[in-house]
Structure 1
């Protein structure tokens, strides 16, 4: 014990020295680890720039459009691009084989902000086209719009969107839909045809070009580099979209299906298709020259402009179907917002209301698969008076508080036993719809209420979010 007490100062000195060494070692290792971590982060960033974090939301500035047209068709179809294009915030090009004959057409495209610029496609005469039943060599040129659009070398690109000169896009909805995908990964986004035979022949994995499709920039950049060598292997194919699909398939990428793209391989009155739109934003419509005007007593162009009047107020809600039940008279009301309201004179089960009514004609008649579609349909009743009353959009407005009011006027029909024959207008009130990330990933239909009214000429309906456990059912 005496010995320990005698050597106590030395022991304290040893302990202090050991502590200092430990602290120094700890500080040295901490600094070394921190420095090494920074070096690793910098190395990763330099070697793989495509993996860099981009937290900013996707906007229309991140989209580049490639539109396939021709010198002959563009003068007649540019009116469709005017519905949705704006040079102030959109980038891209309309690819033509030759410049339009009209002398003023080039100047119009430069001066008019509602028209995209024109680009003359590259020569494709060195590519073979061997589709046996015939077809058009222009399919090669149109397919190469993908490559030539990428080679425009725009900066800050996340998505390339492709379509025809008669493809009508809804840009805000495109941005919202594509924003749920990571553009740094390889995505091929589109939809197949409504016509079962066409989808069966060309494949349910192919995005039809008329409906439009989108490629993430990371995929498009790689595809552009290998595209010419690839399409030489597919000279036997019919169309441009089949060539694009084949080359994307060779890169190992499959179709990401988005039901908002509409090829519209249908003829005549497409009311049934529009009135039963799926739970996703409307992205495109095609073939306006083939189908009837979507609103009665209007030209085709005017009816589409009328639809855009609603889309410009609430783009994400356009054509979204909401169904509610009126208890007093046992009526079923189906609202395709911004387009039409259907009033059924009796209670109809919700799954039956959601089926597409066959108001249209098949793309091809007298074929084995004629009248077979890629969605659920229901036949129209042979008696027009037993079909639902249709009220078409008359006007839409938004007030300073963000309340949106749309009015729908009854389409004329003369049925003596119509219980709602005095009803002339249906007024729909709602707030602006926002397909947020939750609604995009797991969409849920909204609910509606028929509001009390003393007028036999007017019905008022309010659309709202459904409550947590609320059911949409007939009472």
Structure 2
């Protein structure tokens, strides 16, 4: 470094003594501050205080191969249940669980009694959660069972069969998962970094009651392996910090926020904080892969003339063929009759007797009610359309009936049948545009080409009046 010249020395000498003194004090203060932080961190490396929760992000995880795409074997499923609820909710789990393919455990509050044994091989293997009464903070806990559920992350991490896992997926026992879509979505993310992936509730009040930054755990949230590894050493200390929290997913969000990890939103994860008929929501799903549907015990069966379990299995019939298009909305028009069609692949098809813009049809019909009534709008985290009896706005509704593979055209043929007569006059005064005669809608889609997430597909409509059938080809 060169020496200061005479001009620089003269400028320094002309500075007021007060400025020189204040500058010296400021510099000395900064030196002291950083020295204190350095020594404090050395003295508290083993502490569980809030300060030491700021963790370094890993460059890579030793338990994964970062060069291969994520597949289903890389996901460990944590299904939260109890001995009382498992018996009635096992059918939901069986609809998506794949024995000898999916990995994970169902976590119970106590050992199964003789009536539940032998444990079925078609279900996830069970584990009993560690006894939370042994925690020193137990007397202060507002919701001990919710703490048990939250600590399932730690219990799963300690199972010992975690070789090559990249992700942990937490969900409740009344949740339907679309595992192929889940694999495809998780492939987008670098599993060697910290990721907390989930979604909000559909209801404004539910998010306001807990957090708009929370992944609702019933619907499910995914944690990368390195994040779980880091959280495992801090989880119980976090419970001690928040004994007043009374839901497990709020505990998870609070603990992850404290170590600097924010929620990454995936719109295909659905808490279903709704009541009654959710067909309006399922018929206008956003252009995101469907990952989960929760709260099946609190809604009407999603298909007419079926109970909840039958409706669940029927829904998953189409999902076994093509999850990439499952519940994805495709909108098309029949110009000759001014009809609008909205197809929710594998679930429903709507016909409107007038041309309605896509921007309108993408808004779900409000067939449902909010989980909690907060008195005044906004009730939902998305825009909706009112249900009304205007014959130009009310749809003819058809529900999924069957699916088959058409080898000659390498296509999947899904059939939708009318739910019930609409019992409204036609939209057009002369009746030429009535769709009352249509009894069936056939939808053809590519069998081997998966739908690209976020890409809106087109379709063509052919009305076969002599057969009372409409055929829609997705392209």
Tell me by how many angstroms 1:99 deviates.
2.4
Choose which of 355, 360, 367 in structure 2 pairs with 1:359: 367
Choose which of 125, 128, 134 in structure 1 pairs with 2:138: 128
Residues 179-228 of structure 1, C-alpha deviations (whole Å, 9 max, x = no match): 11110111100001001101122111100011101001111111112111
- 2:352 match: 344
Choose which of 271, 275, 300 in structure 1 pairs with 2:279: 271
Tell me by how many angstroms 1:409 deviates.
0.4
- 1:449 match: 460
Secondary structure in structure 2 of the residue aligned to 1:304:
helix
Q: Find the aligned partners of 2:83 and 2:63 in 1 and give their Cα distance.
A: 41
- 1:426 match: 441
Q: Find the aligned partners of 1:194 and 1:224 in 2 and give their Cα distance.
A: 30
Alignment of 1:275-354 (within 5 A): 275-354=283-362
Distance 1:314 1:199, change over 3 A: same
> Are the counterparts in 1 of residues 396 and 422 from structure 2 also a CA contact under 8 Å?
no
> Are the counterparts in 2 of residues 139 and 239 from structure 1 also a CA contact under 8 Å?
yes
Tell me by how many angstroms 1:130 deviates.
4.9
Choose which of 73, 76, 95 in structure 1 pairs with 2:88: 76
Secondary structure in structure 2 of the residue aligned to 1:89:
coil
Choose which of 370, 376, 380 in structure 1 pairs with 2:383: 376
> Are the counterparts in 2 of residues 74 and 100 from structure 1 also a CA contact under 8 Å?
no
Choose which of 153, 163, 173 in structure 2 pairs with 1:165: 173
Q: Find the aligned partners of 1:87 and 1:169 in 2 and give their Cα distance.
A: 14
Secondary structure in structure 1 of the residue aligned to 2:244:
coil
- 1:214 match: 222
Residues 165-184 of structure 1, C-alpha deviations (whole Å, 9 max, x = no match): 11111111111111111101
Distance 1:123 1:314, change over 3 A: same
Q: Find the aligned partners of 1:143 and 1:106 in 2 and give their Cα distance.
A: 26
TM-score by length of 1: 0.82
- 2:72 match: 60
Q: Which has the larger radius of gyration?
A: 1
> Are the counterparts in 1 of residues 280 and 368 from structure 2 also a CA contact under 8 Å?
yes
Residues 27-57 of structure 1, C-alpha deviations (whole Å, 9 max, x = no match): xxxxxxxxxxxxxxxxxxxx96649863222
Tell me by how many angstroms 1:455 deviates.
2.8
Q: 4+ residue stretches of structure 1 with deviation over 4 A?
A: 47-53, 382-386, 433-436
Secondary structure in structure 2 of the residue aligned to 1:315:
coil
TM-score by length of 2: 0.82
Alignment partner of 1:247 is 2:255: yes
Q: How many residues align?
A: 406
Secondary structure in structure 2 of the residue aligned to 1:215:
strand
Tell me by how many angstroms 1:67 deviates.
1.0
Choose which of 105, 130, 138 in structure 2 pairs with 1:93: 105
C-alpha RMSD of the superposition: 2.0
User: Which runs of 5 or more structure 1 residues have no equivalent in the other structure?
Assistant: 1-46, 465-475
